[in-house]
Amino acid sequence: MEKSFVLAKSDFQKFLQRLSTFGAVHAPVRVSDQSFAYKPVDLEKEIAFEALRTILPPKKFLYPQREALFSYDESGIVSEPQINEPLVIFGSHPCDLAGMKVLDYIFTAPPGDSLYIERRKHILIVGLSCLPDKYCFCESMGTDSVDDGYDVFLTDIDDHFFVEVATPKAAELLSDNDFLIPASEPYKQAFKDFWHDRKALFTNRFETSNLPALLDLEADNPVWEELGNRCLSCGNCTFVCPTCYCFDIVDIAQLNGKGQREREWDSCQFTDFAKVAGNNNFRPGPIDRLKFWYRHKLHGFQDAYQLPTCVGCGRCTVSCPAEIDDIVGVVVRLEGSRQRDSIYAKEEKN
């Protein structure tokens, strides 16, 4: 099967119906004047193609907010969850695809998370192009475009989508159809023009070439105290982040000896996250916790895997009630080479 096709937007419903033969299709849906969320869809008109970022990233499908690991009784483990429900994630932008790639590194590294690995087998990912707004800085993080991490990718070129089929699973699903045509040269040129022109639209960026060194040099910069003193320790930044993966394990026990062990999202910004035996806490204050989060996003993961865990989606900036998670603004301040007002400056709010 060819790898590059063109889909007329007038035929999109046919394409959507074919996706639904793989499994339930979840796509961005408008849930308020300003917010979007992944919801099950059946019709093209339900999809918010204009959505730049959903409230929660697609990590919620790969790594649910709460899930049972196993159930047990007095004799031991009784059953483990069966994960075999196929699912299509439609409309993931390049930054979110990069985020899922980071999760793959984390959860498939030996010995591997069996639940994650099994769930990943039953998911089909359909990426979608986008145009940046003032919060997007994926260009600075190198995640404004991707070459892998998806089964199918759609690039919007006027009245058509340029369709890239990347995996055998997707090729099999989309074989023998009457809505995809091989991409001819004019469509290929339109595809190249889109991605070239898109670069010029990014306005939120920084130019630091060595973030780990910068964070090491500026570990005692006053900016950390300023931001930490405003932090509410609410954990919003971690829950909306496409790559934050901390979790807690809890046992839900019954009086008859039966019970269930569950995993649920946790946050390094919570007061008790770093509390250990003896009532000691090695990150007791919000300043310590906020600095740790920034370092992990821009430094810690890169040491091991040569890539940061921040993908530049802007969700943390949008969702922070204390208005302190302006990552671009913080990096520029740490650079000290030029001044940049936060995108949340008072004059812009008024």
HEC letters along the chain: CCCEEEEEHHHHHHHHHHHHCCCEEEEEEECCCCCEEEEECCCHHHCCCCCCCCCCCCHHHHCCCEEEEEEEECCEEEECCCCCCCEEEEEECHHHHHHHHHHHHHHHCCCCCHHHHHHHHCEEEEEECCCCCCCCCHHHHCCCCCCCCCCEEEEEECCEEEEEECCHHHHHHCCCCCCEEECCHHHHHHHHHHHHHHHHHCCCCCCCCCHHHHHHHCCCCHHHHHHHCCCCCCCHHHHCCCCCCCEEEEEEECCCCCEEEEEEECCCCCCCCCEEHHHEECCCCHHHHHHHHHHHHHHHHHHHHCCCCCCCCCHHHHHCCCCCCCHHHHHHHHHCCCCCCCCCCHHHHC
Please answer whether residues 217 and 320 qualify as being in contact, where contact means their C-beta atoms are separated by less than 8 angstroms. Answer: no
| Shared domain check, 234 and 295 | yes
- pTM, full prediction: 0.91
pLDDT over 70 at 6, yes or no: yes
pLDDT at 260: 93
Q: Which of 84-98, 274-288, 291-305 has the highest mean pLDDT?
A: 84-98
Model confidence pLDDT, tens digit, residues 120-147 = 999 999 999 999 999 999 999 999 998 9
For residue 281, tell me if it sits in a domain.
yes
- Residue 325: band (very low, low, confident or very high) from pLDDT cuts 50, 70, 90: confident
pLDDT over 80 at 49, yes or no: yes
Query: What Cα–Cα distance (Å) separates residue 60 from each residue in 26, 57, 103, 150?
Result: 12, 6, 11, 16
Query: What is the spatial distance between Cα 235 and Cα 40, in angstroms, rounded to a whole number?
Result: 27
pLDDT at 302: 77
For residue 206, tell me if it sits in a domain.
no
pLDDT at 301: 80
- Return the minimum-mean-pLDDT range out of 198-202, 216-220, 227-231, 344-348: 344-348
| Shared domain check, 264 and 118 | no
Residue with the bigger pLDDT between 343 and 95: it is 95
For residue 290, tell me if it sits in a domain.
yes
For residue 194, tell me if it sits in a domain.
yes
Mean pLDDT of 49-56: 97
Q: Which residue has the tokens 């990096």?
A: 331
pLDDT over 60 at 223, yes or no: yes
Portion of the chain with pLDDT greater than 90, in percent: 82
Q: Tell me the pLDDT of the chain averaged across its residues.
A: 92
Mean pLDDT of 332-337: 83
pLDDT at 343: 42
Q: Structural domain of residue 224, as residue ranges?
A: 211-349
Answer with the one of 201, 230, 264 that is the final residue of a domain: 201
pLDDT over 80 at 277, yes or no: yes
- Residue 300: band (very low, low, confident or very high) from pLDDT cuts 50, 70, 90: confident
Query: What is the spatial distance between Cα 104 and Cα 127, in angstroms, rounded to a whole number?
Result: 16
Mean pLDDT of 217-242: 95
pLDDT over 90 at 162, yes or no: yes
- Return the minimum-mean-pLDDT range out of 152-166, 177-191, 322-336: 322-336
| Shared domain check, 107 and 47 | yes
| Shared domain check, 297 and 238 | yes
| Total tally of structural domains belonging to the chain | 2
pLDDT at 218: 93
pLDDT at 1: 53
| Shared domain check, 232 and 192 | no
| Shared domain check, 194 and 220 | no
Mean pLDDT of 277-306: 89
How open is the CA angle 328-329-331, to the nearest 5 degrees?
65
Burial 250-262 (b: 16+ CB within 10 A, else e): eeeeeeeeebbeb
| Shared domain check, 131 and 98 | yes
Nearest Cα to 211, choosing from 326, 121, 304, 332? 332
pLDDT at 345: 45
pLDDT at 321: 95
- Phi, psi dihedrals of residue 192, rounded to the nearest 5°: -65, -40
pLDDT over 50 at 342, yes or no: no
